[in-house]
Structure 1
């Protein structure tokens, strides 16, 4: 049985010990530099709020499991979880609208919740000033965790199964044999281990550097204060119960409140970010009860106190009696960090985890370690989700600080940071800027969303052939009707798209073909020049990613991938006779698509671009004028055309060449919004949004990319052979109202019952309606009517056969 050492006996480490031992792994040793179980880390002072509803389905699942598990814990001193419920109130119309959006998330992810009138809010929480609020959102199963008790209760269960807990045991280093861990070194000697899990909280990033691992997290101080006695609370709670009113969040002022018998605890995110210098931490916290509690900065709390008293008038007769600045971990995207070190097998991390998600993260980590994959998708928390630029100290500090500032903000799904922009640009960027591109950001790349240079064309098209959808103010943010014109023009004429940010790897060497056959679901061992759409699965048969694999030489493949996690997965399984390189930054790619694409490119290419000579899903090395290029006849927008790859130094010349060649044919540059709507029209999935590792290929509608009959026993094949028919499937739905707009994650109702959720959507210029993908129960059939609730407003839609546009695939194969 493997020996496991967990570093950190806080809420994550104790939860993990419980989860591992419950699965039959008893040889678990948990060590901590502090005492048990108030170790001195964030768990020891955590206010214990557990709110389940989150924009992330994964984070919501983590919190739901935490509520479920903590509710069942027993401790001799009293409760470990008090399900007082949660109440969020709105004092602005913007926040009230966002609560409707949040209620939609709750429905989508299976969390019980209800929108309330101001009077209903006051009935639940009588301290709230009725005249200050416009409404609220109540989640009755949310509550308060007694974090130290919850940690101890789980630790005792783990001990009963064989686990050992060692306080005052600081890990000084990791013992390794060159490729994997074999133990941890302490002042008392070495503790042998086959697996080491770093769950050290805000100390984790500093510790992980010892093994060459960058954890993008920043320890930040966050203010928490307790008032004196509140007259209106006297007699409401016993010392044992401690709280009875719902947890209250006043996010318009970055505040939350919870009861402490007859006093209130107030947490504030309204102050400036306070990153902690770990080098001076012990000196900075000297004299405080524990090293995770810094001295309270009263001047930073003054505005928060005034805002709190405005919402809760009972505070005006009280004052702050005790307070501190408590340290928690923040990451660039607000997600936790989980996974195994790629270069040091057996070294795992479970970091940047708040009490809210602790049990869920622990369960997923235990499943990952023991079974090879978690039972839910965790790509948003994956250790290797970060691009190289996102692991730089400056990036980590700036973006984590922004995550702190925005923790309670209303964030639009297409709202991107303003700092640290322009870090990754394609060679086309200068030309795009000249054409008035509005840029989105993704993976550090600047990606044109639409082009102001197409405004006059859009105006003409809306006068003559198109109708612009009327969007509300929320759906109109970071969007332009120009994108509708760009999509239409692509379908009718020709457009050029910057595909440079598409992640590209080169897989080469004598074993390249055999390696990709083992790793992917489709047959990629085909002739030179073949292009194959295929999948990466995990051991459970879940879709880790989808790839486009082009065989450019007998031992050389170009792989179009999704994220650094694909590089990580391939690297872990790569044999010695294969070389894997990320070639994205040294290359560029221009997509030229539309009925006139061949007319634009053929005169500039010495090779025959006719359909007979250059079939769909083929690739060639050739030239456009003097520029050496690789042309792939693939199309994510479902139109005739090519992806044109070149070395980056040719980028500007390539753009100018195609623009000049396309001028007689009316070529335009087009952006990501048009691209997205066109791919949804054609039934093409986006990994990470429409499908994840939670889904088998058949459920996601991509089982055509699986060749179970091929000789190679690819990863996930056995799981697919044993799979049952999926309970839910991904469907295309078309809205009835021409002006209906959804942005993703909205709940979908079948016969009045919430049965699924939207993944992605786009307005189709071709059909004049929004088309969306939605996960729905398998019995829901083409032609059935569903209802989608967008920020509280219901819109009907009809399940449609796929693809919605050009089901015969004639446009792409001409």
Structure 2
């Protein structure tokens, strides 16, 4: 059988890696085109400084970097190494950075990267140019190092060529050929090259190229400074022309700097200048073969030179002899962009990829194209992860510029952007502001984290003896003890939660049920009024999303989803006969969660229908009225308490809030925020997709096999589940021994002294007075086992607990 014809646009480090990964899997009809020469094409690969630090807050990006280092280390090039594992060293000159290096050391442990925190003298012993008196310590990762990007590109191209791939220089792609909604080839000045699959790996040119086929690739080409010193006497005789470097690559993130050796000189990269977005129209007419290297702006580099000499005094005898402003791609969230065009089948992108992650991204993309799904979870990098607002030119520019500024900043997990806020608000936003809401942001939505109006309640509970443990400086950021009071009050009385940002789709038509049955794991062929928790899997059987599906009519379903990736997945699977319609109804609707022991007493007087336990059972939906307001009520509870999600259309939202708020006065209702919501759902053992489980995990491992009906007809991922082996790791709840122990997520977990897993999410339980966390642990771990979690250098003991930790018999929900 003939394999598809593949054309890759771009012969930089991503395009050459892709050619190697695709041809190594047996697809050998691959053509790689580039507008420049091979392999110094004039893009970012041509000037990349090659520093590869593997440790990242993202497990996915760390895996990409680790694969890249391992692959490059094994490459062969006649001129020498493609990867030099000199190690990496990050130093701290402030207490805040030293704390952050402890956090980074935890990530390394969690993701399986060898690393060690060092005292100042140990740092200076590793890198003698560092002034030990200037630093508080450092973090050393011995398997990091330098990538020789052009050699790595050429070496991978040679491997791909040996299997049949072709590389063609000076072939600017003028257009994409389409036939019947599929890609059919690319047009160059020399004619059309036919293709079944086209992958755009054109680097910072990629966004402009994608526009020609109606695709938004949210990236901004940004100039970044790199300079080289003159000869450094302290480096004389240390390195040869062959090895170039022997000292660890060095990051001084407190001053937005990084350093590497160039034999007897030092290269310095600087992120401290203002963002320099690049207008590609000014490059397109440039005559130089290296358009990605712009003129060096010395005035912008002056602070960098001063700080470099402070950290590395040996530079004082030298000066900057050459430099340039090199172009790299930045995205709104700092992640790469991968995936297939939804409206042009066969057109793929692999963009905004740095050398650090290049081979890993290429491997995942090749798996995705050939096998239907990558082995690594890529939801953070998916082309369609962005909401519509994030696809606007202004949003892309402003947020990508902020991403540039924050490259080396210390970013708290709950620290959100300050620009372009207030773009998406629920109808209750004015009432929330009046209650003193502190807002988090997600998907463009303003989401109340807690309400200052509940400070008095918090004090009242303190006076009654309810514990409010103090937090350390880091975990206390973007947090308030008021959230403890809000969670406690939800369990004791009643609270209102804004659930409007929960993504909602309407799937309707004669083929709606068939589509949902094929795409999800649970049985949705139930009576009108049923509500079902179910999963969507990928071809590997991994959990790509979890859904709550309400059947509101024989051919109409409301689907509670996780975001744009779900809309993309449904869209790709819609039948061609028009028997199914898909609508995102999130913005036109709103939702209030009313939960707590007093919820029925509060809501029943507003409704003529029977809201009793027998009259309105758990996991059922009811279309009714509250007062004069038409609503859809679903008896579900993500916080594990009696109550409902109450939906209406947006025009009734403000009136619905006021109606419920007034009715709740007699029951001491409060508004409660996301922090309380998170802690309550963790108490109840409810997973959060994208945090606790992803496509990397099978349902059984995530504790979600109850939502899989293997007896029903075929569904996506079923075959993979039938062939799956028992999981090596499973998701467990752990309860900390100390009432003051706090973790935030991604911390390493130790079993019998060895790192065996990592925390996904955590929250302080106001119900039991201890923090609870989810953690991926060895399958042999059972309830009652002792574990330790390392948080900023401190080990906290915890016990694996049965689930759910609170109300295991579900009596609170089924009142």
**Which category describes the TM-score, using the shorter chain as reference length?**
over 0.9
Which deviates more, 578-587 or 715-724?
Answer: 715-724
Provide Cα deviations, 1:627-667, integer angstroms capped at 9, x if missing partner: 00000000000000000000000011000000000100010
Superposed counterparts of 1:363-374, under 5 Å: 363-374=363-374
Q: d(CA) in 2 for partners of 1:678 and 1:11?
A: 46
Counterpart in the other structure of 1:399: 399
Q: d(CA) in 2 for partners of 1:211 and 1:51?
A: 35
SS at match of 1:52: coil
TM-superposed CA distance for 1:282, in Å, is 3.8
Counterpart in the other structure of 1:717: 718
Counterpart in the other structure of 1:6: 8
Counterpart in the other structure of 1:294: 294
Counterpart in the other structure of 1:124: 126
Residue ranges of structure 2 left out of the alignment (5+ in a row): none
Counterpart in the other structure of 2:200: 198
Counterpart in the other structure of 1:348: 348
SS at match of 2:680: helix
Superposed counterparts of 1:614-693, under 5 Å: 614-693=616-695
Q: d(CA) in 2 for partners of 1:196 and 1:463?
A: 66
Counterpart in the other structure of 1:802: 803
Superposed counterparts of 1:403-802, under 5 Å: 403-575=403-575, 576-710=578-712, 712-802=713-803
Q: d(CA) in 2 for partners of 1:546 and 1:321?
A: 56
Provide Cα deviations, 1:38-77, integer angstroms capped at 9, x if missing partner: 0000000000011100000000000000000000001001
Q: d(CA) in 1 for partners of 2:171 and 2:206?
A: 15
Q: d(CA) in 2 for partners of 1:791 and 1:465?
A: 30
TM-superposed CA distance for 1:609, in Å, is 0.2
Q: d(CA) in 2 for partners of 1:366 and 1:612?
A: 53
Q: d(CA) in 2 for partners of 1:424 and 1:463?
A: 38
Q: d(CA) in 2 for partners of 1:466 and 1:316?
A: 59
TM-superposed CA distance for 1:606, in Å, is 1.0
Q: d(CA) in 2 for partners of 1:733 and 1:795?
A: 11
TM-superposed CA distance for 1:279, in Å, is 1.3
Q: Does 1:165 align with 2:167?
A: yes
Q: d(CA) in 1 for partners of 2:347 and 2:299?
A: 42
Superposed counterparts of 1:314-325, under 5 Å: 314-325=314-325
Q: d(CA) in 2 for partners of 1:609 and 1:196?
A: 56
Q: d(CA) in 2 for partners of 1:169 and 1:762?
A: 55
SS at match of 2:659: helix
Residue ranges of structure 1 left out of the alignment (5+ in a row): none
Provide Cα deviations, 1:299-342, integer angstroms capped at 9, x if missing partner: 00000100101100111111111100000000000000000000
Q: 255, 259, 264: which one pairs with 2:266?
A: 264
Counterpart in the other structure of 1:92: 94
Q: d(CA) in 1 for partners of 2:558 and 2:583?
A: 10
Counterpart in the other structure of 2:67: 65
Q: d(CA) in 1 for partners of 2:26 and 2:793?
A: 46
SS at match of 2:185: strand
TM-superposed CA distance for 1:470, in Å, is 1.4
TM-superposed CA distance for 1:465, in Å, is 3.6
SS at match of 1:363: helix
Aligned-residue CA RMSD in angstroms? 0.6
Q: d(CA) in 1 for partners of 2:462 and 2:715?
A: 50
SS at match of 1:476: coil
SS at match of 2:647: strand
Q: d(CA) in 2 for partners of 1:593 and 1:465?
A: 24
TM-score, structure 1 length as denominator?
0.99
Counterpart in the other structure of 1:387: 387
Counterpart in the other structure of 1:312: 312
TM-superposed CA distance for 1:371, in Å, is 0.3
Q: d(CA) in 1 for partners of 2:719 and 2:466?
A: 50
TM-superposed CA distance for 1:240, in Å, is 0.7
Counterpart in the other structure of 2:54: 52
Provide Cα deviations, 1:172-219, integer angstroms capped at 9, x if missing partner: 100010311011111111111000000000000000000000011000
Provide Cα deviations, 1:542-579, integer angstroms capped at 9, x if missing partner: 00000000000000000000010000001100112100
- Provide the aligned length of Structure 1 versus Structure 2: 811
TM-superposed CA distance for 1:462, in Å, is 1.2
Counterpart in the other structure of 2:183: 181
Q: d(CA) in 2 for partners of 1:480 and 1:524?
A: 41
SS at match of 2:701: helix
Provide Cα deviations, 1:524-552, integer angstroms capped at 9, x if missing partner: 11100000000000011000000000000
Q: d(CA) in 2 for partners of 1:278 and 1:686?
A: 40
Q: d(CA) in 2 for partners of 1:480 and 1:335?
A: 30
Q: d(CA) in 2 for partners of 1:281 and 1:450?
A: 48
Q: d(CA) in 2 for partners of 1:218 and 1:276?
A: 8
Q: d(CA) in 1 for partners of 2:347 and 2:656?
A: 45
Counterpart in the other structure of 1:82: 84
TM-superposed CA distance for 1:286, in Å, is 5.2
Q: d(CA) in 1 for partners of 2:530 and 2:689?
A: 22
Q: d(CA) in 2 for partners of 1:724 and 1:130?
A: 51
Q: d(CA) in 2 for partners of 1:525 and 1:331?
A: 42
Q: d(CA) in 2 for partners of 1:138 and 1:96?
A: 13
SS at match of 2:8: strand
Counterpart in the other structure of 2:234: 232
TM-superposed CA distance for 1:130, in Å, is 1.1
